[in-house]
Amino acid sequence: MAGRYGRPRSVLRMRTVAGQVFLLQVAIVVLLVATAITALVLQSQADSEREALNRSVSVAETFANSPGMEAALRSPDPTAVLQPKAEAARERSDVDFIVVFATDGTRYTHPLPDRIGRKFVGDFDAALAGEVVTEKLTGTIGPLVQAVVPVPGADGSVIALVSAGVTLDKVSGVAEEQFPLLFGVAGGVLLLATGGTALVTRRLRRQTHGLGPEEMTRMYEHHDAVLHAVREGVLIVGGDGRILLANDEARRLLDLPADVDGRPVRELGLSPGTAALLASGRDASDVVVPVGGRLLAVNQRTTDQAGGPPGTVATLRDTTELRALSGRADTARGRLALLYDAGTEIGTTLDVVRTCEELAAFGASRLADYASVDLVEAVLRGEEPTATGADVDMRRVAFGGGEGTALYPVGHSIRFVPTTRMGAGLAQGEAVLEADLTSLSGWQRQDEVRARQLVEAGMHSMIAVPLRARGVVLGVAMFWRAGSAEPFEAEDLSLAEELVARAAVSVDNARRYSREHTMAVTLQQSLLPRVLPEQSGVDVAYRYRPAQAGLGGLGGVGGDWFDIIPLPGARVALVVGDVVGHGLHAAATMGRLRTAVHNFSTLDLPPDELLWHLDELVARIDQDEADEAGEAGVTGATCVYAIYDPVAGRCSIARAGHLQPAVVAPDGTARFADVPGGPPLGLGGMPFETLELELEEGSRLVLYTDGLVEDREREIDEGLELLRRTLERYAGGSPEETCAAVLGAMVPQRPRDDVALLVGRTRILAADRTAWWDVPRDPAAVRGIRSAVTERLGAWGLGELVFSTELILSELVTNAIRYGEGPIGVRLIRDRSLICEVTDRSSTSPHLRQAAGTDEGGRGLFLVAQFAERWGTRYTGGGKVIWAELPYGSGEEPEIDLGLDLDGL
């Protein structure tokens, strides 16, 4: 610090912290470098001695154990043999000497030939005992290290000794070569440390008061420039309440006079609140005070902290414009918050009316006193509006706000007048603001009487915004303010447009969903059975529960299906299937599978064969409809197919990836039928198997889809067990009661998957309603069959069918005798129609053909087709059955002239 007052600085008498730190760090660095150099020199000396010792021992041992050493020593002149070898080894091994001498010390070799024959100088007594002797000494060639090694003979005795030595100067040269690098590195370290110390010192000097006059002057000049250039006012007030300093900005903001320095704050003509704050001496943060036409934010801190002088420092900031911007920001923030809330509260469901109700309720609570929404009639039906704007029938679907207003109620039909601003705005898709309804600027022409009622009720401001989506006007939303509420402004109009625009998208989505949902439901309802077919085999009841909307697919549209198909011979087929997924695709796939099952059932195939054909069909559909991404047309389908014969009381069941059907015995016990499992439809490669069951009359066969037993809250095994217990609990009820009980116990109010349930209670035809005859393979037996049939029909009271039945059975039996094989049988079944069946062991099926006029035969099946309502062939495991059905009351003879003698049949 002496330099600051004009006295010369003394290096040894520096009093500043920066100078002392600088000298201390330099001294430490020099000491560390010197210590490192000393340690390296000492280490180099030790390494030289160790290197000399190791080299002398190694060379001596190598030469002493070299081949031919013993022979050379025992030769007449060992010197002549060993001297050249010793000198050659000395030169190659970079030692100073290699001396071979006898056990008495007589030298055989030496670098100086004149010393050969003299005694060896040194201690070698230990070497004579077989040890290696090393010693450091100073010889004629300087300080050296020598080693004495014994030369062993063939019998292990010492026959001579070898001494090798090397001077320390020869091995210390390597370490000395590193000294220049060492000193260079040390110098670099010293320079680097000195530079770093200088930087630290410089920084320390800036942070202390050890500055010279020039530095202090420069600092005050900068301080003064900054103080008067900043855009914030700075005011320093002393402890006595007088102004010590006021920069230019403070003078401008407070409108201070030029001679303000030293004057009391309370005498400057400031407002009492501002003067009291500045003279109070207390801390303040962003306290807003009015000064003239400005709003100043004052921050004030005391100066007596850490031993400073008493007083305060206040900064003044003009926040007038900032307050205006903040107000606009608050307005924008509130607008964004309102729109965000609207996004969460409007359009929560895919329901058109519900979405409009949410818009009306939100508008009435957040934007206006009342709000209403009117929609085009076509939109309510889920259709695309064909016309927009005025002169289009609309209906009020939602209203929000208080009760008892003069506004149109919900359900009222509206047609906006095109000559009003509202009607013109609808035509153009533009919003309309009526800031003052009381002026009756033309809006009242929509309804003069109601307009007066609205004004009398206190309505004074209105906004009408068309609901537009994809360029189409779906309706109009209207917002009303009444009473003491502020009238609508342009900002409100813009906000209402954004709000309605977002809601219009939700309304349009709901409309499109309603249209697609209606189409899908219509498609599905058209594909599922509407009424039960007439049949006598089983008493059937069914239930179909669609998945709830929002929980899966479109809701109400799925791929579960069922069917009851009457078959020939009073038999009936019960089928339940499931197509994975929901929506139009699943419903369409379900319809295709149901149609295919109907078609395959006309072939009267056994259950396993029918499922095989259905599996082939699904695989072909997958192959034909696979797109480029490899997605198949049918993602998965299962089916269970059962055929019940009420005559025999037997049921044949096969399944493809479906759950096991349940069987409830007449005594009330329920079990799951062990139907052999097959793969889901479309996988192929695996055969299907059929289970044959004997069912007593009154048994229940229960078919269902997985939605009945599967649920997220329970495992499928638990669901199956619950189904079994429920069936046993309600075993005494009718099929309708069983369906209702099962769904009530197992299906929630909002199911996540479709549920199809089919319950059939078996019946067995009485024995007196069937008749069976064995037919000999003799054409003459036909007459006897006709007589027996005529007698049985008479007993049944079906005499009007005798002629037709005799004709049909005569033709069928004759063909069986002529072309069939094995035993032949005839069976009559009196059901809803008379069923005639002829069985044989042949697999050849007759074909209907048109006989020429000259043909003598070929008209028999034509007659069968004319007299029977239906006829066909059914194959069994042992042959075939040709059947024909005759409805009651069809005994009249058709007017057919074929030129045949029917009595000859």
Spell out the SS3 assignment of 498-542.
Answer: HHHHHHHHHHHHHHHHHHHHHHHHHHHHHHCCCCCCCCCCEEEEE
**Whether the Cβ atoms of residue 596 and residue 602 lie closer than 8 Å to each other:** no
Has residue 633 got a pLDDT over 60?
no
Write the burial class of residue 800 (CB in 10 Å: 0-12 exposed, 13-18 middle, 19+ buried): middle
**Residue 584 — very low, low, confident or very high, per pLDDT cuts 50/70/90?**
confident
Strands 142-152 and 158-167: antiparallel
Write down the pLDDT at residue 331: 65
Would residue 678 be called left, alpha or beta, if left means φ above 0 and alpha means ψ between -120 and 50 degrees? Answer: beta
**Residue 899 — very low, low, confident or very high, per pLDDT cuts 50/70/90?**
very low
CB atoms inside a 10 Å sphere around CB 151: 24
Write down the pLDDT at residue 216: 57
Residue 745 CA to residue 737 CA, distance in Å, equals: 12
Write down the pLDDT at residue 854: 44
Tell me the average pLDDT across 15-21.
57
Write down the pLDDT at residue 856: 43
Residue 286 CA to residue 317 CA, distance in Å, equals: 9
| Sign, Cα dihedral of 386, 390, 395, 401 | positive
**Residue 902 — very low, low, confident or very high, per pLDDT cuts 50/70/90?**
very low
Distances in whole angstroms, Cα of residue 115 to Cα of each of 98, 190, 271, 408, 791: 13, 54, 121, 142, 160
**Residue 401 — very low, low, confident or very high, per pLDDT cuts 50/70/90?**
confident
Write down the H helix ranges in 65-130. 69-73, 78-93, 125-128
Contacts of 144 (CB under 8 A, 6+ apart): 52, 96, 136, 137, 138, 165, 166, 167, 168
Which of helix, strand or coil describes residue 142? strand
For residue 47, the Cα-to-chain-centroid distance in whole angstroms is 71
Write down the pLDDT at residue 735: 94
Residue 812 CA to residue 835 CA, distance in Å, equals: 13
DSSP for 598-632 reads HHHHTTT--HHHHHHHHHHHHHHHHHHH--TT---
Contacts of 170 (CB under 8 A, 6+ apart): 52, 94, 96
Digit-coded pLDDT (tens) for 467-476: 988 888 889 9
The share of the chain scoring above pLDDT 90, in percent, equals 21
Write down the pLDDT at residue 8: 44
Write the burial class of residue 744 (CB in 10 Å: 0-12 exposed, 13-18 middle, 19+ buried): exposed
Write down the pLDDT at residue 549: 52
Q: Where are the beta strands (DSSP E) in 705-781?
A: 755-762, 770-775
Which of helix, strand or coil describes residue 711? strand
Q: Which of 38-52, 269-283, 600-614 has the lowest mean pLDDT?
A: 38-52
Write down the H helix ranges in 207-293. 213-229, 248-254, 272-280
Tokens of 294: 């400005």
Q: Which of 43-52, 118-127, 697-706, 837-846 has the lowest mean pLDDT?
A: 43-52
Which of helix, strand or coil describes residue 255? coil
Amino acid symbol at 221: E
Has residue 648 got a pLDDT over 80?
yes
Write down the pLDDT at residue 26: 73
Residue 652, phi then psi, degrees to nearest 5: -110, 125
Write down the H helix ranges in 404-489. 421-428, 448-456
Digit-coded pLDDT (tens) for 726-781: 999 998 889 999 999 999 999 887 777 888 999 999 999 988 899 999 998 888 88
Has residue 806 got a pLDDT over 60?
yes
**Residue 370 — very low, low, confident or very high, per pLDDT cuts 50/70/90?**
very high
Has residue 818 got a pLDDT over 70?
yes
**Whether the Cβ atoms of residue 432 and residue 425 lie closer than 8 Å to each other:** yes
Q: Which long-range contacts (CB under 8 A, 24 or more apart) does 41-50 make?
A: 44/172, 44/175, 44/176, 44/178, 45/172, 45/175, 47/175, 48/168, 48/171, 48/172, 48/175, 49/136, 49/145, 49/168
Q: Which of 101-110, 323-332, 441-450, 611-620 has the lowest mean pLDDT?
A: 323-332
Has residue 342 got a pLDDT over 80?
yes
Q: What is the DSSP-derived secondary structure letter of residue 208?
A: S
Contacts of 117 (CB under 8 A, 6+ apart): 106, 107
Write down the pLDDT at residue 641: 97
Tell me the average pLDDT across 662-679.
93
Write down the pLDDT at residue 174: 53
Residue 103 CA to residue 410 CA, distance in Å, equals: 137
Residue 813 CA to residue 902 CA, distance in Å, equals: 15
Task: Give me Rg for the CA atoms of the chain.
Answer: 59
Residue 140 CA to residue 121 CA, distance in Å, equals: 12
Q: Degrees (nearest 5) of the Cα angle 206, 211, 212?
A: 145
Token pair 């096969």 is found at 654
**Whether the Cβ atoms of residue 70 and residue 154 lie closer than 8 Å to each other:** yes
The share of the chain scoring above pLDDT 70, in percent, equals 83
Tokens of 820: 């069939």
Tell me the average pLDDT across 342-347.
85
Tokens of 200: 């630290």
C-alpha closest to that of 284 among 265, 298, 271: 298
Tell me the average pLDDT across 217-224.
67
Digit-coded pLDDT (tens) for 164-193: 888 877 766 555 666 676 667 767 777 777
Has residue 812 got a pLDDT over 50?
yes
Tell me the average pLDDT across 448-462.
87
Tell me the average pLDDT across 489-501.
89
**Residue 651 — very low, low, confident or very high, per pLDDT cuts 50/70/90?**
very high
Residue 147 CA to residue 163 CA, distance in Å, equals: 5
Distances in whole angstroms, Cα of residue 431 to Cα of each of 68, 496, 887: 123, 9, 71
Residue 697, phi then psi, degrees to nearest 5: -65, 135
Tokens of 370: 């009342």
Write down the pLDDT at residue 664: 95
Contacts of 634 (CB under 8 A, 6+ apart): 579, 589, 618, 621, 622, 625, 681, 682
**Residue 300 — very low, low, confident or very high, per pLDDT cuts 50/70/90?**
confident
- pTM for the predicted model, two decimal places: 0.55
Strand partners, 880: 840, 875
**Residue 477 — very low, low, confident or very high, per pLDDT cuts 50/70/90?**
very high
**Residue 262 — very low, low, confident or very high, per pLDDT cuts 50/70/90?**
confident
C-alpha closest to that of 738 among 711, 757, 720: 757
| Sign, Cα dihedral of 174, 179, 180, 184 | positive
Tell me the average pLDDT across 514-533.
76
**Residue 227 — very low, low, confident or very high, per pLDDT cuts 50/70/90?**
low
Residue 372 CA to residue 398 CA, distance in Å, equals: 6
**Whether the Cβ atoms of residue 507 and residue 352 lie closer than 8 Å to each other:** yes
Q: How many CA atoms lie within 13 A of 132 on its CB side?
A: 14
Residue 701, phi then psi, degrees to nearest 5: -110, 120
Write down the pLDDT at residue 228: 66
Write the burial class of residue 533 (CB in 10 Å: 0-12 exposed, 13-18 middle, 19+ buried): exposed
Q: Which of 324-328, 452-456, 714-718 has the lowest mean pLDDT?
A: 324-328
Q: How many CA atoms lie within 13 A of 26 on its CB side?
A: 13
Has residue 21 got a pLDDT over 70?
no
